[in-house]
A and B are shown apart, each in its own frame.
Chain A
Amino acid sequence: MLHRIFGIETEYGLLINQEQPDRPPSWIAHQIIDHLFRTKRAGVLDLHHRGYDEPPGNGGFLLNGGRMYVDMGHLEFASPECHSLRDLVASDRAGDWLLQDAIEELGLSENVSVIKNNIDHETDATFGCHENYLVSRNFPFSYNGLGKLIPFLVTRQIFTGAGRIGATENIDGWIPLEQLSREPDLLQQPSNRLTIPYQISQRADYIVNDFFEWVQHNRAIINTRDEPLADPTQFRRIHLLVGDSNLSEIATALKMGTTGLVLQLIEDGHAPNGLDFTDPVEALRQVSRDQERTWMLTLATGETLSAIDIQERFLECAQTQYQGQDEETDWILQEWEEVLRDLRGDYTTLVGRVDWASKLWLLETFRQQEHLAWEDPWLKSLDLEYHNVDPHKGLYFGLMDEGKAPCVTTRDAIELAKYSPPRDTRAFGRGEVIRYLADSSWSGIQEPEDEARQFPPYVINWSVFQVRGSKAFIMPDPFRSYIQEVRTHLKL
């Protein structure tokens, strides 16, 4: 087990498959939230204003210690803090299952689908899958330190990308500020939708900076927002929004596991040198859009390396330093090595493990059978269906049914993660609070009275909670469960 706390935040899309929908996706999203919290009592709703666009009742913390809420019209699940990849993958999929269950229980599954992707082909909208890694406050949060993560992130899409048909023409939210912007030369060519039939990343087209602190505009390879959600004197939270949502459990585990190891290399001063790009944003896009998938890149030194070569440099450093560190590390190192080796050969050997490869194989198979051109709208619909979390419809789950998609978790573990927190992080203590409140009369509150809005009976956040009549309870260390202290505090 890596000595690291992991978390994933997923924004979902909602497909309403009607010619003239009665309601917008955001209305459906709020119905699902109400069902989860008021009917199923899978958690407790926030009764206070968490911030702009997050009024009371907009979402809340779940019994599993994570959060479900509506953010900018999207359902979003933030996993609880996890100390192992096994727990993280189970928690990530538990979020999918909670939403799919809700759709079915509300009788909406005929016309509504929960889509775990990051783009909308029609309007070029994008929405994220954010990764969170807890690091020490001593982490070298500088261009020289964190900058070593850039070449890794630019190239890891070769095994973490979810793939998509086409390209976006206009970067949403582009703000051309001096010094902060670059000309989106490729994206301004209207013919790109046709010249890029398929690319390996969903998010690459929307990343316009190397470092930046915003999350809705001028998205960067590394988000520099300093919001540790823990003791700020001890911890930082590395928050990444460059990655795609993954359906493949192997891809999710590898994405988080390899990134965790590279952060460890940086912390320990062992990250490889000399892999910087002159223009990392362009390199990111170049890798994603390379139709030959040779992924050749020119470094700032003038050296030419492939994305696989660059990944192998990181892998070799991690093997040298951390082989035998623990079983989870060894698992990551072995899977990482195998996937890089296989990327040098026929991409179809990666079906089931790498999302872009799985989707491309499905689309190519279908195209050949149905004699379709890449421009055919049916292929975009299949691209979307790959990400449908309904196991009876989603194309990824079709691969799983046919034994082509290996798993790293089990149905029992996912079922458990829907309502139970990991027991070795502070999510355990938080889950106890949620359970206590869900059992109490406060959980039946439908619409907070004015007084409750001003002085709500409880306020819960990632690192602190307060229940009316008692003092605030602070949980600054995500590695601690606080379970006994929380039970004492709540007089359980």
Chain B
Amino acid sequence: MMKMIQETHARTFMLNALSHPIGLERREQPSHPLPRPLGPSEDGGGPKRPDTESAEKDNLLKRMRKVDPKQAERYRQRTGE
């Protein structure tokens, strides 16, 4: 058992050195189900219409205005599967 722990530590060190986040491990079973959506349905009264008139919309519009209007013309891909 001690040997196994030592080897595990050694491998942990090596992988940490490579920036692999193995200190955390994925759960074998989910401890709770998928969460309820954080947004629209929280109050149980059905989804609300997003607030399309708020300042938040301005942030989205700013993000959209930064998009190069011609970028779609440059997006030429091969057909895949």
**Shortest distance between the CB of B46 and any CB in chain A (Å):** 7
Residue from B29, B69, B72 in contact with A121 in the complex, judged by beta carbons closer than 8 Å: B72
How many contacts A-B (CB < 8 Å)? Answer: 213
Does B63 lie within 8 Å of A420, measured CB to CB?
A: no
| CA A398 to CA B65, docked complex, whole Å | 12
- Measured in the bound complex, the distance between the Cα atoms of B78 and A26 in whole Å is 9
> Does A474 belong to the interface (CB within 8 Å)?
no
User: A423, B39: Cβ atoms under 8 Å?
Assistant: no
Which residue of chain B is the closest to A14 with respect to CB atoms? B77
What residues on B are CB-neighbors of A125 within 8 Å? Answer: 76-80
> A328-B34, A395-B60, A435-B11 are known contacts. Are A403 and B68 too (CB-CB below 8 A)?
no
Residues of chain A contacted by B75 (CB below 8 angstroms): 13, 15, 115, 120-122, 384
Known contacts A216-B79, A385-B67; decide if A349 and B40 are in contact (CB<8 Å): yes
Is the Cβ of B34 less than 8 Å from the Cβ of A85? yes
Which residues 1-27 in A have Cβ within 8 Å of B in the complex? 1, 11, 13-19, 21, 25-26
> Looking at the complex, which one of A40, A74, A423 makes contact with B26 (CB distance below 8 Å)?
A423
Give the chain A neighbours of B35 by CB distance below 8 A: 407-408
A268 to B70, CA, bound (A): 51
- A419 touches which of B22, B56, B77, B78 (Cβ 8 Å): B22
Interface centre among B18, B30, B33 (most CB of A within 10 A): B33
A121 neighbours in B (Cβ, 8 Å): 72, 75
B11, B18, B49, B72: most-surrounded residue (chain A CB, <10 A): B72
Bound state CA distance, A422 and B27, in angstroms?
Answer: 7
B2 interface contact, C-beta 8 A: no
- CB pair A127 B79 closer than 8 Å: yes
Q: A349-B47, A384-B71, A419-B20 are in contact. Are A130 and B37 (CB under 8 A)?
A: no
The one of B29, B57, B59, B70 that contacts A424, using a Cβ cutoff of 8 Å:
B29
**B43 / chain A contacts, CB cutoff of 8 Å:** none
Contact pick for A173, options B41, B66, B69, B79, CB 8 Å: B79
B55 to chain A, nearest CB (A): 9
Interfacial chain A residues near B49, Cβ < 8 Å: 346, 348-349
Are the C-beta atoms of A403 and B39 separated by less than 8 Å?
yes
Say whether A338 contacts B69, CB under 8 Å: no
CB contact between A405 and one of B39, B47, B63, B81 (< 8 Å): that residue = B39
| CA of A434 to CA of B41, assembled, Å | 42
A352 touches B40 (CB 8 A): yes
Query: Cβ of B80 and Cβ of A16 under 8 Å apart?
Result: no
Minimum Cβ distance to chain B for residue A212 (Å): 13
Q: Is the CB of A126 within 8 A of B79?
A: yes
On whether the beta carbons of A130 and B81 are closer than 8 Å, the reply is yes
A186 at the interface (CB under 8 A from B): no
Binding site for A on B (CB under 8 A): 7, 11, 14-15, 18-22, 24-30, 32-35, 37-41, 46-50, 52, 56-57, 59-61, 63-64, 66-81
Given pairs A125-B76, A127-B81, A401-B59, 15 additional interface contacts (CB within 8 A): A1-B29, A21-B74, A26-B78, A84-B30, A121-B72, A122-B75, A123-B77, A338-B46, A351-B50, A381-B68, A382-B67, A385-B71, A403-B56, A415-B21, A423-B26
Interchain residue pairs with CB less than 8 A apart (27): A63-B20, A72-B78, A72-B79, A72-B80, A73-B80, A85-B34, A120-B77, A122-B73, A123-B77, A126-B79, A126-B80, A128-B80, A173-B79, A328-B34, A331-B33, A338-B46, A348-B50, A353-B37, A377-B70, A393-B66, A398-B63, A404-B56, A407-B38, A408-B35, A419-B20, A420-B22, A435-B11
Q: Can you list the 5 inter-chain pairs with the closest CB atoms, starting with the nearest?
A: A127-B80, A406-B37, A327-B33, A380-B72, A378-B69
